[in-house]
Amino acid sequence: MKKLYATIGAILCVMSSLSAQDNKTSNEEKYSIHIKKSANPIKLDGLLEEESWKTADIAKDFFLGRPYDTSFAQLQTEVRVAFDDNFLYVGAICYQPRNSYTIASLKRDFEQGTSDVFIINLDTFKDRLNAFQFVVNPYGVQREGLVFNGEEVSNYWDNKWYSQVRNYDDYWVVEMAIPFKTLRYKVADEQNTWRVNFTRNVLKKK
């Protein structure tokens, strides 16, 4: 098996309910998205038809993390983010032929590195060391954990969050609703930003 990782890298998410700005580097500025508050409820159905999705900033042009980090991923991903008073919403279109999925288990909290997945890491304190991780595979199976020391993950952290996946011949769509009450973060004027890493893990046969 050859393990391929596609990642957009660490981007800066700016909640647009406040005119927040941070001391960003030029690279962070390049990979920043502004998150808009949804005026209407978002239904998790894997369709991305709500107006909030249509007007959302799109994180795209994912590049490879492994085995090389100097080229764009062949299987691309488009990610949109929105929020309301209770949830952070993530919608992702994951381009991949349906007949190429690798799914090792349908059990929640499945073992890392065994299935194709979409991952979001939320570094709410922007310390580049710790994050909340939420994972979904193409069949809609969930896994969550805590990132610590920059790259280690503990799956002993469990929380209730919501997701829905819809499969198509050449791509799959995932919608996620993460309750704000499951996260730890600070709210302060002019500091309304988080660091976020969106990742696709794709397992392909040689």
The model's pLDDT over 171-200, given as tens digits with 9 standing for 90+, comes to 999 999 999 999 998 877 666 789 999 999
| H-run or E-run covering 30 | helix 26-30
| H-run or E-run covering 142 | strand 142-148
| H-run or E-run covering 94 | strand 87-95
Ranges of residues in the chain with a pLDDT under 70 are 1-30, 67-69, 189-191, 205-206
For residue 163, the domain's CATH number is 2.60.40
Q: How many domains does the chain have?
A: 1
The pTM score is: 0.86
Q: What is the pLDDT of residue 31?
A: 77
Q: What is the pLDDT of residue 4?
A: 53
Cα 160 to Cα 35: distance, rounded to the nearest angstrom: 23
pLDDT mean across residues, the chain: 85
- The three-class DSSP label of residue 182 is helix
Beta-bridge partner residues of 178: 88
Residue range of the domain that includes 83: 2-204
Q: Dig out the tokens for 54 from the structure.
A: 């249509």
Percentage of residues in the chain with pLDDT exceeding 90? 61
Cα 151 to Cα 166: distance, rounded to the nearest angstrom: 30
Q: What is the pLDDT of residue 143?
A: 95
Q: What is the pLDDT of residue 137?
A: 97
129 neighbors 148 (Cβ within 8 angstroms): yes
Any alpha helices (H) in 43-179, and if so which ranges? 51-54
